[in-house]
Amino acid sequence: MENKPINNVHQEVKVRITENNVNDKALLISLLKRLNIDIDELKDVNNTERRIVVQKVVYFAKKLGMRFTYSYNMYLHGPYSTALADDYYNITKEDMNNCANFPLDVDKIKKLECLKEKPRIFLEIAATLDSIIEYNKGISDEKAIKHVFSMKEEVLKQYDKNIEYVKDVLDEIRSNNLL
């Protein structure tokens, strides 16, 4: 049998970049750009507020169906992802400039923009409530509220908040379909 050379045919293949076919870091960069979050603020060791907000916004982005694969564990300020932290600490200006912007669901972005503007304590309580409810299937609202209040009582006092605030946060995230 005779070996015949195979002609290499180069075809231009265009792939539409969507949130379904990119890695976490690229999706994170697109989300940060869309929400106008400055990467330098995330890297500032004195700006824990901003990092907490980003942790919770990405947590809820995942809940809304964005294709993040970050896993979260309960931490001091609620659910926390070390992989997410690694990604935002390692994003460079070059990454920000070179990463393609791709379409993100407008309704999801609107919800995330609203969340981004919420006080940090709201986001911390909201994500903690969601996590408690998610991992304790069938828990009553009353038990979830009491549990989160007992976990966060000291920080709630710092913000002059009480158990009613926890209930109000639960009502709000439920009414916005974030649970």
**For the chain, what are the domain ranges?**
17-117, 119-179
pLDDT at 19: 45
| pLDDT of 80 over the 60 cut | yes
pLDDT at 12: 39
| Average pLDDT of the residues of the chain | 85
| pLDDT of 22 over the 70 cut | no
pLDDT at 15: 34
Instruction: Tally DSSP H helices, then E strands, for the chain.
Output: 9, 2
User: How far apart, in whole angstroms, are the C-alpha atoms of residue 166 and residue 162?
Assistant: 7
Q: Is residue 100 very low, low, confident or very high in pLDDT (cuts 50, 70, 90)?
A: low
What are residue 131's phi and psi, to 5 degrees?
Answer: -65, -45
pLDDT at 74: 94
Q: What is the pTM of this model?
A: 0.83
More confident residue, 100 or 168: 168
Mean pLDDT in residue range 9-36: 65
| pLDDT of 141 over the 50 cut | yes
Report the percent of the chain where pLDDT is more than 70.
87
| pLDDT of 2 over the 70 cut | no
Torsion of CA 35, 41, 17, 8, to 10 degrees: 160
Contact of 167 with 145, CB cutoff 8 Å: yes
Q: Identify which of 42, 60, 38 has the alpha carbon closest to the alpha carbon of residue 52.
A: 42
Q: Identify which of 63, 41, 59 has the alpha carbon closest to the alpha carbon of residue 51.
A: 41
pLDDT at 104: 85
